[in-house]
């Protein structure tokens, strides 16, 4: 998806949140699917981009007193090392978000993984606030994987900290500590790579969390898998946001049980597409497709699969031999 241009003076807010969860088996006087987690802590660091460098500016941290899930879920307690009494010390979510939004200003949000923006928007909507963030968001995890040569794998913040030999001064899994560690990784990515390449990767991977980025399609019942695969092509013809005709960057190709493509909307950017064919109880085939605005992981996946397809065809690379088979040969 097209993102904001990054120039000298562009600010980034690296942030992390912790949230409490509903207790299993407990009845609540509201639909818990509308609030799967209640935010209890926000931590953030602000950076400014200047002449190829990322420079630290300020920090933000606040605890939030929950009003719906007021007793810590056992998993949250174990991971965050918090106590139930800690939940009494925070401010209201409304006040915390107001302070956080003021701290952010006109920044690009940066997080580890893609769950924090959606959780933030869920809390805003549940508590009757404006759920538009009006900021672009960057998932730093695939950016780290790209520059660490670990494309296609998901690594924790701690794994990235270890990769760059960053000193561990705080316990992981508090919002403040994890924001600090994510910020340190962000700095190291700039320090160890060409700034122009980092900015290019960031620009192509940041998304607008206020705009849907994932789309799905379930095709009609078909008598064979080839017809089912063909049914998904209609889904890939137009942009799911504006219905404009999509340009083909990497043509549709099938390898093993999946079909891939990379497409482009001139307004909204590049889209990754993957289709798998499944069978229903009646024994008929149908296509299940996903299409999303491409990130670094998607670019790597479709490119690597296309390379494999070009070399080995639809069946893909032969399975690696076992140790016994290797001995026999």
**Is the separation of the CB atoms in 294 and 206 below 8 Å?**
no
pLDDT at residue 37 in the model: 97
pLDDT at residue 329 in the model: 45
Convert the pLDDT of each residue in 145-160 to its tens digit.
999 998 877 899 999 9
Residues of the chain with pLDDT under 70: 1-3, 321-329
Where are the domains positioned within the chain? 11-205, 214-312
pLDDT at residue 323 in the model: 55
Helices (H), the chain: 74-80, 93-104, 115-126, 140-147, 157-163, 175-192, 195-205, 225-231, 296-312, 323-328
Domain at 11-205, CATH homologous superfamily: Ribonuclease H-like superfamily/Ribonuclease H (3.30.420.10)
pTM of the model as a whole:
0.85
């Amino acid at each position: 998806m097209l993102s904001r241009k990054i120039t000298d003076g562009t600010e980034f807010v690296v942030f992390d949140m912790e949230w409490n969860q509903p207790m299993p088996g407990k009845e609540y006087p509201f639909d818990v699917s509308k609030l799967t987690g209640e935010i209890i802590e926000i931590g953030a660091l602000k950076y400014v981009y200047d002449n190829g460098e990322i420079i630290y500016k300020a920090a933000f941290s606040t605890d939030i007193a929950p009003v719906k899930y007021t007793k810590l879920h056992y998993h949250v307690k174990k991971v965050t090392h918090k106590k139930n009494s800690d939940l009494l010390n925070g401010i209201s979510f409304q006040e915390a978000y107001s302070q956080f939004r003021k701290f952010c200003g006109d920044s690009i949000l940066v997080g580890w993984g893609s769950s924090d923006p959606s959780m933030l928007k869920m809390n805003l909507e549940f508590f009757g606030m404006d759920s538009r963030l009006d900021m672009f968001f960057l998932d730093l995890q695939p950016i780290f994987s790209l520059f660490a040569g670990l494309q296609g794998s998901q690594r924790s913040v701690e794994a990235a900290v270890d990769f760059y030999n960053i000193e561990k001064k705080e316990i992981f899994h508090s919002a403040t500590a994890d924001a600090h560690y994510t910020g340190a990784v962000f700095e190291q990515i700039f320090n160890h790579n060409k700034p122009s390449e980092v900015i290019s990767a960031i620009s192509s991977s940041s998304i607008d969390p206020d705009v849907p980025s994932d789309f799905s399609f379930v095709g009609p019942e078909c008598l064979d898998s080839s017809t089912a695969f063909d049914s998904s092509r209609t889904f890939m013809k137009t942009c799911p946001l504006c219905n404009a005709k999509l340009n083909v960057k990497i043509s549709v190709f099938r390898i093993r049980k999946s079909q891939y493509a990379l497409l482009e909307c001139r307004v909204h950017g590049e889209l990754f597409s993957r289709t798998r064919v499944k069978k229903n109880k009646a024994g008929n085939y149908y296509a299940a497709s996903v299409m999303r605005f491409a990130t670094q992981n998607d670019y790597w996946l479709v490119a690597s699969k296309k390379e494999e397809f070009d070399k080995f065809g639809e069946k893909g690379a032969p399975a690696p031999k076992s140790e016994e088979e290797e001995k026999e040969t």
